[in-house]
Amino acid sequence: MSLSLWQTRFESWFQINWVHDDKAHDIAHLRRVWMSAQRIMAGSDASPLVVLTACYFHDVVNLPKNHPERHLASTYAAEETARVLTQDFPDFPDALIPAVAHAVKAHSFSAAIAPETLEAKIVQDADRLESLGAIGLARVFYTAGALNRPLFDNEDPLGKMRELNDVNWTLDHFQKKLLRLPDTMQTEAGRALAQHNADFLVHYMAKLCAELQGNLTSFDESVLRDFSPLRA
């Protein structure tokens, strides 16, 4: 069976069975992760079907960021993935299910589970790219709104004179997690893409800081100098 047909079948399953309110983790998110994964795995020996399946099922169990069991969500998702593939996709190759489950389990940042296969590394990188660039910027503020979290500290937006706290201030999440993602990437291709899109977030930070100082037409060069991964 072709990958495109598997993809169509997976999407049909999710449209019928996947009910939740998190628009940052919807079917469009799954499609984008798969799109990024294809770019990362090009020319590699990774199993395309394992990568495709893990990209679509990695968030089949998705707990809110403030849920006490958030760090266990990917483990629950891996278990649910194995169950669904066995029950609802009986023609899916049994031999590939453990590899898919591992890639699902290891994708999560909060779970801190090291990916042991090339497929798991690709899926983890592809998912983390969703937290960077223009899409990452949109998703982080969408999530902040859903959690009713303030956007930034107007007096000290970069936390230079206070401890960073991304529960209190959404912009702090850039330094607490997002700008660190390029260093966590598992593949060379993923790292290059992450550095490029992390730089976009730094430019947003620099534009915001300039505007807070009354400069509406340029960037705060000190922010670009201090944070850009492309200027290191």
Q: Is residue 199 part of a domain?
A: yes
The answer to whether residue 53 sits within a structural domain is: yes
Share of the chain above pLDDT 70, in %: 92
Q: Are residues 198 and 167 in the same domain?
A: yes
pLDDT at 219 over 90: yes
Residue 232 within any structural domain of the chain: no
pLDDT one-digit tens code per residue, 88-141: 999 999 999 999 999 999 988 776 789 999 999 999 999 999 999 999 999 999
* pLDDT over threshold 80, residue 194: yes
What is the span of the domain harbouring residue 63? 3-122
Whether pLDDT at 21 is above 60: yes
The residue from 122, 147, 176 where one domain ends is 122
Task: Tell which of 122, 157, 180 closes a domain.
Answer: 122
Give the other-Cβ count within 10 Å of 149's Cβ: 18
- Average pLDDT for 1-27: 86
Quote the pLDDT of residue 169. Answer: 93
Residue-level pLDDT at 23: 67
| pLDDT value for 111 | 65
pLDDT in the model for residue 20? 73
pLDDT of 228 reads 83
Q: Is residue 13 part of a domain?
A: yes
In a domain, 18, yes or no: yes
Q: What is the pLDDT of residue 46?
A: 97
Claim to verify: residue 94 and residue 37 sit in the same structural domain: yes
Same-domain pairing of 53 and 146: no
Q: Compute the distance between CA of residue 184 and CA of residue 178 in angstroms, rounded to an integer.
A: 10
Query: 176 with 79, same domain?
Result: no
The CATH number linked to 190 is 1.10.3210.50
Residues 44, 110 share a domain: yes
Do 141 and 209 fall within a single domain? Answer: yes
Domain-terminating residue out of 80, 97, 122: 122
Residue 186 and residue 109 share a domain: no
Between the two ends of the chain, the Cα-to-Cα distance in Å is 46
Q: Are residues 10 and 94 in the same domain?
A: yes
Question: What pLDDT is attached to residue 61?
Answer: 87
**128 domain-assigned:** no
Radius of gyration of the chain (CA): 19
Residues 170, 215 share a domain: yes
DSSP sequence for 92-108: S-GGGHHHHHHHHHH--
Percent of the chain with pLDDT over 90: 75
In this prediction, residue 68 has a pLDDT band, given cuts at 50, 70 and 90, of low
* Model pTM score: 0.91
Instruction: For residues 91 and 178, give the distance between their C-alpha atoms in angstroms, rounded to a whole number.
Output: 39
pLDDT in tens, 147-190: 889 999 999 999 999 999 998 999 999 999 999 999 999 999 99
CA distance 71 to 61: 12
Indicate whether 127 belongs to any domain: no
In this structure, the answer to whether residues 29 and 118 fall within a common structural domain is: yes
108 and 13 fall within a common domain: yes
**What pLDDT, in 10s, does the model give residues 22-63?**
666 788 999 999 999 999 999 999 999 999 999 999 989 877
Domain count, the chain: 2
Q: What is the pLDDT of residue 70?
A: 67
Give the pLDDT score at 73. Answer: 82
* 107 and 152 assigned to the same domain: no
